[in-house]
Structure 1
Amino acid sequence: MDNLGISIVTIVIIAANVIMSFKGFDDRIFFEKYKFNVGSIKRGEQIRMLSSGFLHADITHLLFNMFTLYFFADAVVMILGSFKFIVIYFASLVFGNLLSLYFHKDEYWYSAIGASGAVTGVLYAAILLRPDMSLYMYFIPIPIPGYVFGIGYLLYSIYGMKNKIGNIGHDAHFGGAVGGYVVTLIMMPSLFTSNLGYVGLLAVPIIILFVLYKTGKLK
């Protein structure tokens, strides 16, 4: 199955996102019950840590996340297999929401939705496993090395967290990326030998975030 153009596990996850998102579009009560909300989670509704990752604000939000997942998921599945891919996906989703919960722990009104944390974790797993991959973006006429995109994206996420840019959960994106990074290295420690330079480069933004937080410059 994993040798097909798109793996069964990727299809299932995309289908789950589509079904839950469309249910949320049509049913506001359902949407409110399962979105990420700090106050509700602190009252014990832990299911929101997972369910919020399958809800989206609108079709554009859903399509962007699912297209990104489609392009990077099978690079992970083909190297690590379906089970480990699922572990990376859900670990990234939870880690992204945990980081959001940590940074917004006193903002009981704070809410968020979307698979971005999980998808970003998969993207970073793919970059670790295939650091030679190139990314193509419509507004940039040349291919971007995967590791350059990874570092740049995390640095932008830190900037977004620090300056509260846009209605975007930068902390969930960052947390998801870190989740994908850490879990992939745990699952395939040989990367410390085969791709040590890239492993080190992708760790730089994580260290910067830690230093900024410890020095109080991110609060």
Structure 2
Amino acid sequence: MTLIIILITVLISWQAFNNSELRAKLIFLPAAIKNRGEYYRFLTHGFIHADFQHLLFNMYALYIFGGSVEFVFTEYLFGDTLGKLAYLVFYLVAIVAASVPDYLRHQDNRMYASLGASGGVAATIWPYVMLAPWNWFIFPPLPAILLGIGYILYSHYADKRGQGNIGHNAHLWGAIFGLIAYSILVLAFEPALMSYFLQELMQPKGPNF
């Protein structure tokens, strides 16, 4: 399912790179949602990107983190078929949920627009973290648990600074959604996974590159 999401996102993004009308139709425009009821934009903006670098970064991150989410959903929470569907819903809802704060903030700003899968991708970070909290990354050289916490703190800080054209608020709320939604699912369907996470968290490990 992760590879299918990546393939669809790449295809739609590629089309939007060369079709300004398609890009304009799918991009997140809070004012258009409020004034014209174009609610589909809450979701469709997650399948287009600003440029190839933006697309590559998001899809690479989804490939790394999404596989772990899909694994947990299919092997521990819901089974193969239902797990894949639940994972897809989790990802799509994350895109929407991450956009709501920006909608509330910018609904009267006709100049505001955003795009990209960052909200959905950010939601996949915490399931990965809770599966392997001390798995180290080569870049940045941090364990997953510190990367997850740092990601939320940095996104909040960068959003408050308000500089650049990166949607840090969507990153922030995507990660928060992922943490809360995944924790609820685990506690409801497989509490042993939460116990496993807490046990692993108490056993710090150094890098093993």
**TM-score range with shorter-chain normalisation?**
0.7 to 0.9
Cα gap change, 1:135 to 1:103, in 2 (>3 Å): farther
Contact kept, 8 Å, 2:31 with 2:106, in 1: the verdict is no
- The residue number in structure 1 matching 2:170 is 172
CA distance in 2, matches of 1:146, 1:180: 15
- The residue number in structure 2 matching 1:207 is none
Alpha-carbon offset, residue 108 of structure 1: 2.9
- The residue number in structure 2 matching 1:72 is 65
CA distance in 2, matches of 1:23, 1:125: 31
- The residue number in structure 2 matching 1:38 is 30
2:138 partner SS:
strand
Q: Which runs of 5+ in 1 are unaligned?
A: 1-8, 200-219
Alpha-carbon offset, residue 197 of structure 1: 8.5
- Higher strand content, 1 or 2: 1
CA distance in 1, matches of 2:89, 2:143: 26
- The residue number in structure 2 matching 1:4 is none
The percentage of counterpart residues that share the same residue type is: 36
Alpha-carbon offset, residue 167 of structure 1: 0.7
Alpha-carbon offset, residue 78 of structure 1: 1.3
- The residue number in structure 1 matching 2:108 is 106
CA distance in 1, matches of 2:179, 2:104: 19
Q: Which runs of 5+ in 2 are unaligned?
A: 75-83, 202-209
Alpha-carbon offset, residue 63 of structure 1: 0.5
Q: Moved runs in structure 1, 4+ residues, more than 4 A?
A: 196-199
What's the TM-score, normalizing by structure 2?
A: 0.83
CA distance in 2, matches of 1:20, 1:198: 39
Alpha-carbon offset, residue 192 of structure 1: 4.5
Alpha-carbon offset, residue 75 of structure 1: 1.2
- The residue number in structure 2 matching 1:53 is 46
Matched, 1:124 2:126: yes
- CA-based RMSD of the aligned residues comes to 1.8
2:137 partner SS:
strand
CA distance in 1, matches of 2:97, 2:168: 13
- The residue number in structure 2 matching 1:115 is 117
- The residue number in structure 1 matching 2:78 is none
Residue-pair matches, total: 187
The one-letter code sitting in structure 2 at the alignment partner of 1:186 is: I
